[in-house]
């Protein structure tokens, strides 16, 4: 759909009824922290801090108009009360047990939510060991061929919808990072992909089967991990064919979030960069999965690309040509989900004089990711009700490797991403975009 048509559209479907949030990786740290968190907020036990949809505002019109509604009051979003949760995992734990294992949330909070959490159980997963070397999948579907597995996933979706009285769903991949997979012929067109499904092509990853099942069921798909998944021409084509919005990939939460906050500042002041060394220690299940070289490679590619796009060495060779960028992740069990990240940034200023910036971020991985899952679920459901489909680039704000149409480069600067997101909302709601020139206030 062209922007002109979007601007004319005025039949946004209302957020009526319940919204099902389906999560592959349901028993993982991010999913459980997200779901328990939403329930805690619903019960008035905590605030949804970190969530733009819940806490954020949007300025409309001129600064003198004083129109600054909350985003959730400006656009018709599903309310937290209307969310229901389901999904799949290779572990059969209900969410109460899974929350305790993840050790992200304090025990007294988990105990207070016990009945609610214990009532949510995963469906058995579609899993292949070759894609996640460091986890042993015990709770997996018995079907062996891909088409049957897709049918089994679709049957789960129908079962979930019936049991929960849901008619709209979104799917957000919160499963483990899959082993690195380069783009192959089977991914390059829908025809190739569907041929590959019939032949159980080994280059079709489990996450792609979930995405295929979702899109062909009319369900939006968001990819929170760095695996290709929907970021392949075949599934982009499928999403366009079924008029389903998709977005990805890899939630931008901790160290990379800070990188995309700091790097635009360095560039804005035309300071140079010699090198950026990033390392961290992390001891959760995600850390264990990323301890395997094949899964780390997928993550490394996602984490490394941001600086090149923000700094544009080809445009500013004197400042950014050949800067050294290293990214390390170290599995260190004692810290669990509480990641500690270090960045050493070697910069140079006036006349080439060198300086250093040191960042030591003691963060909590899943605490940072949970509001991102919430916002993405709500925004992508909104996108579908507006009539958008295919890649939702305006959601780049949330990703380390934003998906973009072929031929475009992704925008990584967090502030440009936020402006893109808010201006998209203004356009969809027929408000003027905000350009921040402000000359009108001064020139008669
Ligand atoms: N800040 C963050 O936490 C953050 C940021 C960016 C990306 N991510 C990504 O989000 C994902 C989830 O992170 P996490 O910390 O919750 O990891 P986790 O290991 O705690 O959870 C992942 C879950 O996925 C399950 N799983 C693996 N393969 C599956 C399959 N084929 N089907 C269904 N379930 C499957 C695992 O059993 C596990 O319970 C990871 O891929 C991670 O890289 C997390």
338-363 confidence digits (pLDDT tens): 889 999 999 999 999 999 999 999 99
Q: In testing the pocket of ligand 1, which one of 29, 121, 127, 175 has its CB within 8 Å of the most ligand atoms?
A: 175
Q: Residues with Cβ within 6 A of ligand 1?
A: 24-25, 27-30, 88-91, 125-127, 132, 135, 174-177, 206, 224-225, 250-251, 253-254, 284-286, 289, 365-366, 368-369
Please work out, in degrees rounded to the nearest 5, the angle formed at the alpha carbon of residue 94 by the alpha carbons of 90 and 97.
100
Residue that finishes a domain, picked among 313, 342, 362: 362
The CA-based dihedral angle spanning residues 187, 243, 404, 230, taken in that order and rounded to the nearest 10 degrees: -40
Residue ranges for the chain with pLDDT beneath 70: 1-10
For residue 9, what pLDDT is reported? 63
For residue 244, what pLDDT is reported? 98
Domain residues for the domain of 241 are 3-251+367-428
If asked whether residues 269 and 233 sit together in one domain, one would say no
Backbone angles phi, psi at 407, to 5 degrees: 95, -15
- 318, 272 Cβ separation under 8 angstroms: yes
For residue 3, what pLDDT is reported? 65
Nearest of 27, 296, 293, 288 to residue 134 by alpha carbon: 288
Residue that finishes a domain, picked among 362, 391, 418: 362
Q: On the CB side of 18, how many CA atoms lie within 13 Å of its CA? A: 16
If asked whether residues 104 and 12 sit together in one domain, one would say yes
For residue 1, what pLDDT is reported? 60
121-172 confidence digits (pLDDT tens): 999 999 999 999 888 888 999 999 999 999 999 999 999 999 999 989 999 9
| Cβ neighbours of residue 218 closer than 8 Å, sequence gap 6 or more | 242, 244
Distance of CA 217 to the CA centre of its chain: 21
If asked whether residues 319 and 356 sit together in one domain, one would say yes
| Residue 193: other Cβ atoms inside 10 A | 23
3-class DSSP state for residue 314?
coil
Residue that finishes a domain, picked among 321, 336, 362: 362
For residue 4, what pLDDT is reported? 65
Residue 261 to residue 257: CA distance in whole angstroms: 6
If asked whether residues 205 and 267 sit together in one domain, one would say no
For residue 2, what pLDDT is reported? 63
For residue 133, what pLDDT is reported? 87
Kindly list the distances between the CA atom of residue 339 and the CA atoms of 263, 301, 333, 362, 367, in Å, as whole numbers in the listed order: 21, 20, 10, 6, 11
Q: In testing the pocket of ligand 1, which one of 98, 174, 340 has its CB within 8 Å of the most ligand atoms?
A: 174
Kindly list the distances between the CA atom of residue 61 and the CA atoms of 2, 55, 87, 149, 440, in Å, as whole numbers in the listed order: 24, 20, 41, 50, 12
If asked whether residues 26 and 125 sit together in one domain, one would say yes
């Amino acid at each position: 759909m062209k922007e002109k048509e979007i601007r004319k559209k005025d039949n946004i479907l209302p957020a009526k009824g319940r919204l099902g949030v389906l999560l592959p990786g349901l028993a993982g740290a991010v999913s459980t922290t997200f779901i328990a968190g939403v329930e805690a907020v619903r019960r008035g036990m905590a605030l949804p801090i970190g969530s733009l949809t819940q806490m954020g505002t949007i300025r409309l019109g001129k600064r003198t108009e004083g129109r600054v509604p909350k985003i959730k009051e400006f656009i018709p979003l599903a309310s937290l009360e209307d969310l229901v949760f389901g999904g799949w995992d290779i572990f059969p734990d209900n969410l109460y047990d899974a929350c305790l294992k993840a050790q992200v949330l304090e025990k007294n909070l988990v105990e207070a939510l016990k009945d609610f959490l214990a009532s949510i159980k995963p469906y058995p997963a579609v899993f292949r060991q070759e894609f996640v070397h460091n986890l042993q999948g015990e709770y997996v579907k018995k079907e062996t061929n891909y088409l049957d597995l897709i049918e089994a996933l679709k049957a789960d979706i129908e079962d979930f919808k019936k049991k929960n009285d849901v008619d709209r769903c979104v799917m957000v991949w919160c499963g483990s990072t899959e082993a690195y997979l380069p783009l192959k012929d089977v991914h390059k067109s829908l025809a190739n992909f569907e041929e590959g499904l019939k032949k159980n092509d080994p280059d079709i990853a489990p996450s792609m089967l979930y995405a295929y099942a979702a899109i062909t069921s009319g369900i939006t798909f968001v990819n929170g991990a760095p695996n290709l998944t929907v970021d392949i021409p075949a599934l982009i084509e499928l999403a366009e064919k079924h008029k389903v919005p998709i977005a990805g990939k890899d939630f931008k939460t901790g160290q990379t979030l800070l990188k995309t906050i700091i790097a635009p500042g360095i560039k804005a002041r035309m300071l140079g960069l010699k090198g950026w060394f990033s390392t961290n220690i992390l001891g959760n299940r995600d850390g264990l999965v990323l301890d395997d070289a094949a899964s780390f490679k997928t993550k490394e590619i996602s984490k490394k690309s941001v600086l090149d796009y923000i700094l544009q060495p080809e445009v500013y060779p004197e400042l950014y040509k050949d800067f050294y960028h290293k990214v390390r992740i170290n599995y260190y069990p004692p810290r669990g989900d509480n990641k500690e990240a270090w960045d050493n940034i070697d910069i140079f200023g006036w006349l080439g004089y060198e300086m250093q910036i040191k960042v030591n971020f003691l963060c909590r991985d899943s605490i940072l990711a949970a509001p991102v899952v919430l916002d993405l679920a709500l925004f992508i459901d909104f996108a579908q009700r507006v009539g958008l489909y295919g890649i939702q680039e305006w959601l780049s704000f949330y990703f380390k490797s934003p998906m973009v149409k072929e031929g475009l480069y992704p925008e990584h600067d967090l502030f440009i991403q936020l402006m893109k997101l808010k201006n998209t909302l203004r356009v969809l709601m027929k408000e003027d975009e905000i350009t921040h020139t402000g000359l009108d206030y001064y020139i008669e």
